Each structure stands twice: as structure tokens, then as C-alpha cells.
Structure 1
Amino acid sequence: MPHHCCAFGCTNRQNKDNRLRGITFHRFPTNQTARKQWEVALRRKAFIATVYSRLCSEHFRQVDFDRTGQTVRIRDGVVPSVFNFPARLKKPVATRTGWTSKQADTAASPNQSVYCSPPVTAGEPQPDPSLDHSYALPTCPDALKARLSEAMAEVESLRREKRNAKDRERRAKSTVCGLLEELRAKNLINQELKENMSYNME
């Protein structure tokens, strides 16, 4: 299953075409503080990265990459900073001001504060937000119907594959049972062995 970039408005997928374009995809840091910095930099409300979350290389500067090995890596301490945010997301990220909220932040990271580098606008036309991610619901009813039709078609395709797999399994069992009967008839195997083999196939 190809990964999608989880940055706002980014439609890049981890596929052959993007690989040929030199676009790489990167996991979120395992370090909690660094991961939080990446999450805040995305400016997506209530976004929490999972093990499947990826950011593509278009959201980092060239100096952010370590290309010394066979695999392109993000240097330690780097925070994604190249985004094409709409005007409403270009405002400074709100910080916690209440005593309870500050205590929660301190408990999560007592010695470090979350840093979000300023976004770098790419100057390109803003993509349709409905195309943001494969799991985001489109805002347009027609697009929503199209997405539902695609999902239903995929479900039906999976059902057909399941039926075909069951049919293949049934044919294989039938073939093996026929072979066992033939071997038994020729006295090449005894009844006990035949029954044991038949039992193991159930």
C-alpha cells in the first residue's frame, strides 16, 4: 500500500513516478519531542502521527538531507519548513498560556520547548483541500459520491478475490483427495495414513 504525504495540500504518493522525480518519503521521528515539532510544523488541527505517517522530501530544504549513504535521510534536529499554507494557516501557531496547560507541556518535555520553523511558501497555486489525503472526505457532494463509488468498487473487487481464492482452495483439496484415493486403490498408502492426511487438510 503506497504511503501519502500527510502535509496539508500535498498530493504526493510513494510510487514509481515520484521516485523517478527524486521525491523521497520519511517517517516521523521516534523521539517524542522531535515528533511533536514535526506535528506542530504541519499546522493540522489535532494531527497525531502514526507509524504509517510520512512526509515527502518537498517539505524540507536541501541542506536538511543527509545523502552520504545509499538511503536519503533527514538530518537530526531538522524540522520540516517548506509548505504552501493557505492564509488562515500562516498565522503564528498558538501556544498554551494556562497554568494547567503549561504544566502538561512541562511534564511531556521538561527541558525542551516545541519549535516550529516559519513556513516557506512555494508560490504555487493552492491545491484543492478535498485532495489533501486519501482518507480525508471531500467537501463536494459529487466528489464524495465518486469516492464512495471507488470504495464500493474496491470492496467488490476484494470480495471477488476472496471467492476466487476459496474456489482455488476447494479445487486443490479435491485434487489432493482424488490423488489419495488413487494411491489407496493402488495400495501405495494405507487407510490410516490416508485418513490422517485428509484430516490435516480440513
Structure 2
Amino acid sequence: MPEHCAAHSCSNRRTIANRARGITFHKFPKDKDVRKKWEVALRREGFTASASSVLCSKHFKQGDFDRTGQTVRLRDGVIPSVFSFPVRLKRLEKGRATSTYRRAKERLPVASQDSQEMATSHPQPQPNDDHGYALPASPSALKSRLNEALARVESLEREKKNAVAREKRAKTAVKSLLGDLKNIITEGCQ
């Protein structure tokens, strides 16, 4: 099994120190389409993942992990997206080239950094605050709500798993008691 991450210029190795830091290693998926997407995301020319190739957890977003059990797993269909590529491997972002888009972009006011800091430190109430289904005004507020919701879902999944395990233990105990009760009744009748 490989001892190092397959990502470009990533030096993470499977060591006890990295494990203590919370770095986990994940094999490339067996599904050919998803595996191909992983390989493309790596942007390594001529790279083909072997059955034992791995990527470290540093190349995935926090929301990509399923931490409900003892083993940290990736959610289904997740593609690695956190990389620090050299300039030659970075893709240029294509912007819209329509004249309408350019005119709209030119009309947008450019806010100073101080006003942005004040807006984030003292958010003003928005008209949609009284509706729970409405989106928050800022992307950061939306992201924090999403992270809270994901944390709540993980917590509820753990609670559900524990409740199912308790129910299974209780059923086993009831079956055992019923068996003992049958034995006591048959012995009493004899």
C-alpha cells in the first residue's frame, strides 16, 4: 500500500504523526467514471491511479467526509477539490464575454475594505430575517448555516445509530427473558 499522497507536490505520508494530526488517506474509487474525475482533478500529466493509490484528507472539503462511525469515510461521489497547483497547472477562469455582462460589472459599486469589515462585524437585519426558509443576505452567513445544518445531521445520524443499537439490545434481552420464563413455567408444570 502506498505510503504517500498521489497529489501534485503533496508531501503527506502515512505516518503516526500525520494520523495524530487527523490526516486520513483515501483510496481512489473503484467506479471508473468517478476515478477518472479524481485523476482529472489531480492535473498530473500521464497519471493513472492504481488499485492502491491514495489521496490525503487535505485535498477534500470538510463537508466531503462522513464522520458518523469510527472510521472517517468520504461521502459518495465526492471529487477532491483542494489543491495548491503551480502556475503552469492552474486553469484560467473564463469570464463572461457578453457586452451586457461587462456593462453590469462596470456599474457595480466597489466597496472599501473598511465598509466590508463593518458589514461583516455588524450585520444589518434583512427583510427576509423573519422567514426561516429565506436565504441569508451574505454567502458567509449561508455557509455557516449550512455547516450548522450538516453538523446537526451528523449528530442526528449518530443518535439514530445509537438508538437502533439500544433497540436491538433490548429485543435480545426480551427474547432471553421470554426463553427463561418458558423454562421456569415448564419446570413448574412438571
TM class by shorter chain equals 0.3 to 0.5
TM-score (norm 1): 0.44
- Say which structure is richer in helix: 2
TM-score by length of structure 2 reads 0.47
